[in-house]
Structures are given as structure tokens and as C-alpha cells.
Amino acid sequence: MTTHTNSAHTAGSDAFGASTPGDVDADTPVLNAVGGDWDDLVDEAAAMHEERIVVNMGPQHPSTHGVLRLILELDGETVTEARAGIGYLHTGIEKNMEFRTWTQGVTFCTRMDYVMPLFNEAVYCLAVEKALGITDQIPERANVIRVLMMELNRAASHLVAIATGGMEMGATTVMTIGFRERERILEVFEMVSGLRMNNNYIRPGGVAQDIPAGCIDKVREMVPLVHKGTKEIEDLLNENPILKARTVDVGYLDLTGCIALGATGPILRSAGLPYDLRKADPYCGYETYDFEVITRDTCDSYAKLRNRLDEIHESLKIVDQCIERLDKNPGPVMVEDKKIAWPAQMSVGGDGQGNSLDHIREIMGESMESLIHHFKLVTEGFRVPPGQAYVAIESPKGELGCHVVSDGGTRPYRAHFRDPSFNNLQAVAAMSEGGSVADVIIAVASIDPVMGGVDR
């Protein structure tokens, strides 16, 4: 955007050419907005008298699960410059959270990266709990349920990445298998939280409610099926000569590039660095689980694909361990402090709605003071001491961080997220330039950005 400041301006028009009712002071500076980066690129290309083409790829969905604009400068079919244009999916989530209670904030942040909603909820709640100073008071069963749900969500997110990447390459069978296996996981999410996505399940202090009867048996039945479905995808892809021709040495980003751009997750681990916050800085008891950090060292899109496939199996290994622990631990799922804990005894009534009448009778029948406390906790919310806290966790796409600031009130003064898709998307230029137009799609698919998390 090019701007010019005029010290004088004629009456009858504003800075953008629109009519104005009265005279404008001649000494009033007026800002004229003209042109933009697109015009600059075209003018530069014309002045060079070279056969360069500037192409808009988007705004659309090129393997991005959201609306992304890629501006490509081409020499024939070779990409000489690539830039990402973002902001088309901006929702104002972080600002909206400043006008809701700390607990209501979960409803907003779960919708950022909507392919991994439970990680958004978890990192926000961990940050709120750190600000409250209750991290060590979270019941063990609540932490196990959090790990169970996150690892299922990690597998589901990777399945979406692989399925949509396959679809972009024309491998529709990969897409149908990937979404079929993800559907099995979403059925568990719906059983536990009532929702397939944007679950609003993890809450400050624990989780909204305990897992329902029959859930553990359903997970036990589901895990081998997802292992089997993932193996089908591996059989289709791992040694497929067409797939390898499209992905080997494509979307290359070495360790130096990853560190310089702040890329994390499968991208960083495809460059050989075994960095995983579940091991490097454990949370929710991850240090007590047995799993491997998957790495490869070829730095290309093929390595990122293989990493995600292997990580699905590792996540399901953790899920099996969670099931064993839940069988042995019938404890509470919400912190004991009643000034913080939202009711976690939620259950569905006979009409399939809201809460069960038995629970409502219990709240209203205990005492007037109990009813008043319940009302104030839900409507006004709890207070967080003045201060700030930052927590980072390992999401399917990399390091997901949450920084919350409190002024001592019942609402966040500020909540800001470090979404891995935002940082990883910076790598588009480094991974695409010098390759062909077709390789851009492969590079973006290997990054696996979700634009809801990028734009927030």
C-alpha cells in the first residue's frame, strides 16, 4: 500500500474521492491510499521486459482447510517467488475472549484451529490454571482424560492432513480412507462431549464431565480399527512410485530453515530434530507415558507424510495406556475448589437436552446459598489473581502456546495464542521457490496449515 500526504485538499471530496459536505481546512493533512502490492509487482514485471507471470492462487482451499491466497511469480512453470496472503478467515476470537468469563473463553478458542479443537482448549485451560496456581491440584483422572482426548485428536488431525493432501494429488482413495478413520474418532468425541468438533469439553480445573458409560469399551473397539485403516493408507502410499515422485525432495526445508522460521511439529522433526514438548517440557503427566518421538532426516514432503503416519500409531499407543489408567482410577474430574470448579456432574436428561432433572434438583434442593453460589459462578465467573502466564503444548502441527494476562477480574485482560500454523506458513516461500507450480500444492499440504488458527 502506497500513501501520500497532502497539506491541502479541495473541498467537496475526501481522501478516497468521496464527496464531503463542507470545506476542508487547507492545513489539514489528508492521507491518500492508492495501489497495493499487486500493482507494484505488475509494474515491476512490465519494466523488466521479461516474460514473468504473477498468478493469484486463491483465495481458495489449496490443501489448507481454510481460505489462503498464494501470490506466485512464475518463470514458465517454475516458481521464482511465493508469498502467502492471510486474513480471510479472521474471527476476532482473541478480542472476543476479553468480553467473556475465563470459562466461557474455552468456547471461543476451541474454534481457532477447528481440526484440533481439544488442543486449543487444553493449552488455554493450562494457562488459566497456571495463572490461578492450581496446576498441581488438577485430579489425575481429569489429566488422563485430557491426554486421551488430545491423542485421539492428534490422530484425527493427521488423518485430515493425509486425506486432504492425497485428494490434492488426485488420490481420492486416500481421502476416503482418511476420513473414514477420522469418523471413528469423532464418534468417540460426540459420545464424550456431545459434539464432533469445537467440543468445549476441557475446562479450567478439569473437564466438563466424566466420560460416559460404555465409552472405554467403544475406544477399545475403535483403536485396532484405526490402526488397520492407517495401515491401509501406508500400503497405498509408502512405496508408491507416483507418490514418491511427487513428494521426495519436494517442499524441502532443512533444520537451519526450520529454526530460522520457527517451524515446529512434523516439519521440524522431518529435519531430524526430535523436539516434542511432551518430552521436552511435559504437561498433563506425559512424562509417565511410553511413546516415541518420530523423526526423519530427509527434510522433504515425503518425510513429513511418513512422520504423521507413524505419529498416529504412537498416539494410539498412548490411548491404550490411558484406557488402562481410567479403569484403575475412578476419581473426580474437576478441581475441588468450589469457587473455581464449574459443575462437572453434567448428564443428559430424558429429553436429550441440557442437564438431568436429578442434578438440577440436587443443586436447587441443597440450600439457597448453594443455589446463589452456583448462579454467581456460572454468570459472573471466578477471579484470577493479577499477573500473566504462558504455557506451550505439542499440538499435531507443532508448538501451540497460550499467553493469558489477568487484571484480577473475572475476564481475561488479554489472551493471545502462538498457533503453529501461523509460524509454519512462513515456510511456503522457502519450500516452494525453485520448484514447479504443482509442487506448491504439495509443499502447502505438507505444512498442513488450518487457516482458522492462522487468522484467529
Tell me if 67 sits within 8 A of 433, measured CB to CB.
no
Helix (H) or strand (E) holding 169: none
Separation of alpha carbons 313 and 228, rounded Å: 10
Cβ atoms within 10 Å of 28's Cβ, excluding its own: 10
Cβ atoms within 10 Å of 358's Cβ, excluding its own: 10
Burial of 47 from C-beta contacts in 10 A (0-12 / 13-18 / 19+): exposed
- The predicted model scores a pTM of 0.82
Tell me if 423 sits within 8 A of 258, measured CB to CB.
no
Cell of 125: 485451560
pLDDT at 91: 84
Separation of alpha carbons 184 and 250, rounded Å: 32
Separation of alpha carbons 374 and 176, rounded Å: 46
Burial of 142 from C-beta contacts in 10 A (0-12 / 13-18 / 19+): buried
Burial of 241 from C-beta contacts in 10 A (0-12 / 13-18 / 19+): exposed
Separation of alpha carbons 281 and 112, rounded Å: 24
**Domain boundaries in the chain?**
1-34, 93-340+361-455
pLDDT at 15: 40
Class for the domain spanning 93-340+361-455? mainly alpha
How is 259-287 classified by DSSP, letter by letter?
Answer: HHHT--THHHHTTT----HHHHS--TTGG
pLDDT at 3: 44
pLDDT at 227: 92
- Alpha-carbon distances of 205 from 140, 160, 355, 390, 427, rounded to whole Å: 11, 30, 20, 17, 37
Q: From the first residue on, what is the mean pLDDT of each consecutive set of 10 residues in the chain (456 residues)?
A: 43 43 60 62 66 76 70 84 85 89 88 90 92 89 92 93 86 90 91 86 88 88 92 89 88 89 91 90 90 89 91 92 88 81 59 59 66 75 89 92 91 92 89 86 88 84
pLDDT at 64: 53
pLDDT at 362: 65
Q: Which of 151, 148, 146, 130 is nearest to 207 (CA)?
A: 146
65 Cβ neighbours under 8 A, 6+ residues apart: 114, 115, 160, 164, 449, 450, 451, 452
pLDDT at 2: 43
